[in-house]
Amino acid sequence: MAVARRDPLCLKHHHLLVPLWRADARVARFDFAARLNEILDDLVAGALDRPLCEPSDFDRWLDHRLETGEDPTALAEHGLYPAASFCRLLGRELLCSQGLPETDEALTLRASQQAGFAVARRGEAAIAAALMDLVAAGGGQREEPKGVFGDLLTKLRDDTLDDPAFAPFRRLLRDCILSVWPVAAGETVLGERIPERRLHSLYSAAREIGVSEDLLEPFLIEAGALVAGDPRFSNRRVFSAAEHAGLLAEIPTLVSLRTIRREIGASRTEVERLVAEGCLTPRCRCETVRLRWSLTQAKELLSALQCRAAPIEAEDPAWETLLTASHRGGQSLSALLAAVKAGALSIGALGPGFGDLRLRKVEITPAASAPQEPLIPATAFGISVGIKDKGRFRALIEAGHTPATRLRHPKTGNENLVLTKADIAAFHRRFVTIPALVSETGRPIPELRAALKRAGVMVFAPEGQDFGRLFLRAAAEAALRRKISQDP
């Protein structure tokens, strides 16, 4: 009876099978004479006649298998009942995902059987692809497996969970779910406990490590876990949990440059130089992310220097600060630190901080014969790149957006802001002005301004601060590249 209910067509007459009567009492149900007499008028009048139907591939497959036991399709390895049931369930969800209207119940059943059989007959790869088609047809903001797979999931998860004959189909659906949804370790999917998480989504990862999605997204994009501009909802933007576990564990520990300065006992200028020369590297290049610096990296740098440092007295004139040694000797700070680590330079310490470190003057003297690096006053440099002063360029430096070097006048003791070659290079890597763009591209000012405005490139003004008509280089260059590609 179960097979007949799922195959309501007579292959000989091409007529849908029709339920003739219903009777709860067993005796009444099998009293054929009484029951036939009740429907005699309808039989004669043709009230039970149905439109003739052409047998489907499913109909022929089922009839052939029932009659001969043979099966030329990939369903041969499955029992007849689970195979036929799965075809119906899968086909029903495929038809629903296509928005096909339901008509007569029996005709809908037959359409479902045929749609599912057309897929399942080709084997597991075809089934897996069809399940992914159902996923693609979903896409609600918090769409869960039940909303995508409907009765197919319900039947395999609840009604047939203890039936081993359905295990192969459960496995296929389980694999699909685990390849799409960020199922946490310990959760149960179709009767199987998941020992470890395979996938994270932007949504689940942000919740797990306790940060916002906006903060986490740039890190994952830079790491290649996510694609920038993906329009899908955050719970559908998934990535390998194992591959990026280290990054997720590190992100909550990242800090600001202000914290770095405090924790390693360094001045703003010292930290700016360490950043500009690559001694400290951000975990994410996105400059709108403030907490992107590794305190562990900074402390390891300090520890590597302090462990080589000998205690010295503050009044000892034989020693000088790292920055002073760098300027006087015409060498980069990174080169001096590398020499210290290699044992080529002596280092002393007044205390535990980075700013307490000193180098022996006499050991820096040989490099003093090299041409002295020109130092440009910060105000003069700002004007040279098109930032009319009024303190704007100095404010840019004080806000920590670009590095500079602080020098004290040997006689007056006044502190001056100057730019070294490294400082200037760091500025140009990050920022650009209209005059600089004119010099670099040879294009007129009106054209450049129009291109930036059309692309929505805004003047760099975080928190409303006025640093003049200054733009982030990456955004400006991207806008100009788009314009060039659009020009005829």
Examine the fold and report which residue of 310, 336, 369 is the final residue of a domain before the chain moves on: 369
Average pLDDT over residues 327-336: 83
Model confidence at 1, in pLDDT bands (50, 70, 90)?
very low
Lowest mean pLDDT among 101-110, 119-128, 380-389: 101-110
Model confidence at 467, in pLDDT bands (50, 70, 90)?
confident
How many distinct structural domains can be found in the chain?
Answer: 5
Q: Give SS3 for 366.
A: helix
Q: In terms of domains, do 109 and 22 share one?
A: no
Query: What was the pLDDT predicted at 478?
Result: 83
Per the structure, the complete domain to which residue 346 belongs is given by 257-369
Res 394 pLDDT > 70: yes
| Phi, psi dihedral angles at 423 (to 5 degrees) | -65, -45
Q: In terms of domains, do 66 and 160 share one?
A: yes
Res 368 pLDDT > 50: no
What's the burial of 188, exposed, middle or buried (CB within 10 Å: 0-12/13-18/19+)? exposed
274: left (phi over 0), alpha (psi -120 to 50) or beta: alpha
Res 60 pLDDT > 80: yes
Q: Distance between CA atoms of 219 and 251, rounded to whole angstroms?
A: 8
Query: What was the pLDDT predicted at 2?
Result: 36
Query: What was the pLDDT predicted at 486?
Result: 59
Q: In terms of domains, do 243 and 261 share one?
A: no
Residue 17 lies in a domain: yes
DSSP of 444-470 = -HHHHHHHHHHTTPPP--GGG----SE
Query: What was the pLDDT predicted at 140?
Result: 54
Query: What was the pLDDT predicted at 408?
Result: 63
pLDDT, tens digit, 9 for 90 and up, residues 85-110: 999 999 999 998 887 765 556 557 88
Q: In terms of domains, do 311 and 389 share one?
A: no
Lowest mean pLDDT among 59-73, 305-319, 381-395, 432-446: 381-395
Lowest mean pLDDT among 43-57, 220-234, 250-264, 315-329: 43-57
| Phi, psi dihedral angles at 486 (to 5 degrees) | -90, -20
| Phi, psi dihedral angles at 10 (to 5 degrees) | -90, 115
Model confidence at 3, in pLDDT bands (50, 70, 90)?
very low
Model confidence at 168, in pLDDT bands (50, 70, 90)?
very high
Q: Distance between CA atoms of 83 and 62, rounded to whole angstroms?
A: 10
For residues 405 and 266, the model is more confident at: 266
Examine the fold and report which residue of 147, 176, 193 is the final residue of a domain before the chain moves on: 193
Alpha carbon separation from 381 to 178, 281, 373, 428 (Å, rounded):
57, 26, 15, 12
Q: In terms of domains, do 204 and 232 share one?
A: yes
Residue 407 lies in a domain: yes
Res 410 pLDDT > 70: no
pLDDT, tens digit, 9 for 90 and up, residues 7-17: 466 777 776 77
Query: What was the pLDDT predicted at 5?
Result: 40
The whole-chain average pLDDT of the chain stands at 84
Residue 346 lies in a domain: yes
Q: In terms of domains, do 136 and 235 share one?
A: no
Q: In terms of domains, do 464 and 365 share one?
A: no
Query: What was the pLDDT predicted at 314?
Result: 80
Res 156 pLDDT > 80: yes
DSSP of 28-59 = HHT-HHHHHHHHHHHHHHTTT---B-PPPHHH
Model confidence at 155, in pLDDT bands (50, 70, 90)?
very high
Query: What was the pLDDT predicted at 115?
Result: 92
Model confidence at 53, in pLDDT bands (50, 70, 90)?
confident
Average pLDDT over residues 124-148: 83
Residue 134 lies in a domain: yes
Three-class HEC string of 115-145: HHHHHHCCCHHHHHHHHHHHHHHCCCCCCCH
E strands present in 202-289: 238-240
Lowest mean pLDDT among 39-53, 60-74, 451-465: 39-53
Q: In terms of domains, do 34 and 61 share one?
A: no
Q: In terms of domains, do 362 and 439 share one?
A: no
Average pLDDT over residues 328-347: 85
Q: Distance between CA atoms of 375 and 372, rounded to whole angstroms?
A: 9
% of the chain residues with pLDDT over 90: 31
Q: Helix-strand-coil percent breakdown of the chain, rounded to 5?
A: 55, 10, 35
Q: In terms of domains, do 261 and 351 share one?
A: yes
Pairing state between β 192-193 and 188-189: antiparallel
DSSP state of 372: P
Q: Are 433 and 472 in contact (CB under 8 A)?
A: no
Q: In terms of domains, do 131 and 187 share one?
A: yes
For residues 214 and 3, the model is more confident at: 214
Q: In terms of domains, do 266 and 280 share one?
A: yes
Sorted by sequence, the CB contacts under 8 Å of residue 291 that are 6+ apart come out as 215, 254, 255, 256
Model confidence at 81, in pLDDT bands (50, 70, 90)?
very high
Residue 50 lies in a domain: no
Question: In this structure, which amino acid lies at residue 37?
Answer: N
Examine the fold and report which residue of 253, 276, 296 is the final residue of a domain before the chain moves on: 253
For residues 208 and 410, the model is more confident at: 208
Nearest one of 49, 51, 56, 165 to 109, comparing CA atoms: 56
